[in-house]
């Protein structure tokens, strides 16, 4: 299938590792000019060097999403001609909702929803001139089913889901789609952190907790980052032009709701 992505420009957040990095690589393989976004410059430089390059222009922006004003300043000095925006930010600390502090809610709201909003405001004007735009938010299956022990994440991910659904309706007439990809258990540093915390709380080994979590899903395994990235890249393409405002779980069948 020809996704017709050659010479498109993409801004991929959280792309120094995990799903974001896998997405950046797959987009580059399709001929996209990729701009990476993360806070660790050394990691960004390394990923840029790994991106497939067939006369393409790849770049990176060093941004810490805890500071939306700093993000705005970086964007003011950047060419904002992006056809594709992939919003992706690392999840907050795990823990029960009653144990969460107001600061945790505020920080997570800033890193996820506020920065998503700043980025969308920056790139949508150009997308409108092209009658083409793809905004893809990497969120979590907690949008459909809250996950025990992830109180802050469940709350803020739900807010991002509703923000994106609202945005999809507002920009759909301009050839712009806004969709959410909901990863399940994916073999990333974030999942390793969650497994370690769960194992400690359950007083069991990391290996045992890993097997327990794999058995939560019908696939009986964790996803590779590339498997989630495949869905993201398809949504970024012309082939997905009539898919708008939806949540797509990529979770091996773990989510029980329709």
Q: Fill in the DSSP letter of residue 69.
A: H
Q: Fill in the DSSP letter of residue 236.
A: T
**Domain count of the fold of the chain:** 1
- Mean pLDDT across the chain: 95
Domain-embedded: residue 203: no
Contacts of 119 (CB under 8 A, 6+ apart): 11, 13, 71, 75, 85, 87
Domain-embedded: residue 201: no
Rounded-to-integer distance, Cα 175 and Cα 93, Å: 36
The residue segments making up the domain with residue 69 are 9-185+224-250
- Distances, alpha carbon 202 to alpha carbons 87, 107, 206, 207, 218, in Å: 33, 28, 10, 12, 23
For 33, phi then psi, to 5°, come to -85, 120
Which CATH number covers residue 100? 3.40.50.720
Domain-embedded: residue 70: yes
Domain-embedded: residue 257: no
Please give the pLDDT value at position 146: 94
Domain-embedded: residue 212: no
Of the candidates 157, 162, 154, 41, the residue with the CA atom closest to the CA atom of residue 88: 157
Domain-embedded: residue 38: yes
Strand partners, 137: 87, 180
Domain-embedded: residue 191: no
Give mean pLDDT, residues 56-80: 96
pLDDT tens, residue by residue, 130-189:
999 999 999 999 999 999 889 999 999 999 999 999 999 999 999 999 999 999 999 988
């Amino acid at each position: 299938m020809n996704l017709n992505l050659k010479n498109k420009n993409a801004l991929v957040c959280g792309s120094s590792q995990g799903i974001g990095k896998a997405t950046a690589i797959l987009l580059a393989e399709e001929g996209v000019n990729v701009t990476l976004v993360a806070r660790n410059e050394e990691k960004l430089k390394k990923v840029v060097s790994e991106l497939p390059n067939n006369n393409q222009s790849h770049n990176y922006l060093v941004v810490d999403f805890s500071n939306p004003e700093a993000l705005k300043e970086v964007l003011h000095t950047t060419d904002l001609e992006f056809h594709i925006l992939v919003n992706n930010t690392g999840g907050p600390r795990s823990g029960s909702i009653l144990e969460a502090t107001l600061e945790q809610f505020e920080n997570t709201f800033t890193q996820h929803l506020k920065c998503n909003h700043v980025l969308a405001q920056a790139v949508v004007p150009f997308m409108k001139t092209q009658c083409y735009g793809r905004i893809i938010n990497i969120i979590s299956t907690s949008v459909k089913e809250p996950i025990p022990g992830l109180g802050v994440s469940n709350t803020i991910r739900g807010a991002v889901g509703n923000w994106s659904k609202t945005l999809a309706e507002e920009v759909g007439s301009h050839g712009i789609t806004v969709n959410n990809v909901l990863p399940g258990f994916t073999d990333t540093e974030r999942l390793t952190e969650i497994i370690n915390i769960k194992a400690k709380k359950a007083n069991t080994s990391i290996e045992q907790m890993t097997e327990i979590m794999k058995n939560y899903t019908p696939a009986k395994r964790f996803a590779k980052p590339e498997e989630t990235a495949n869905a993201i890249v398809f949504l970024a393409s012309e082939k997905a032009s009539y898919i708008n405002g939806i949540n797509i779980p990529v979770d091996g069948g773990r989510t029980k709701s329709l």
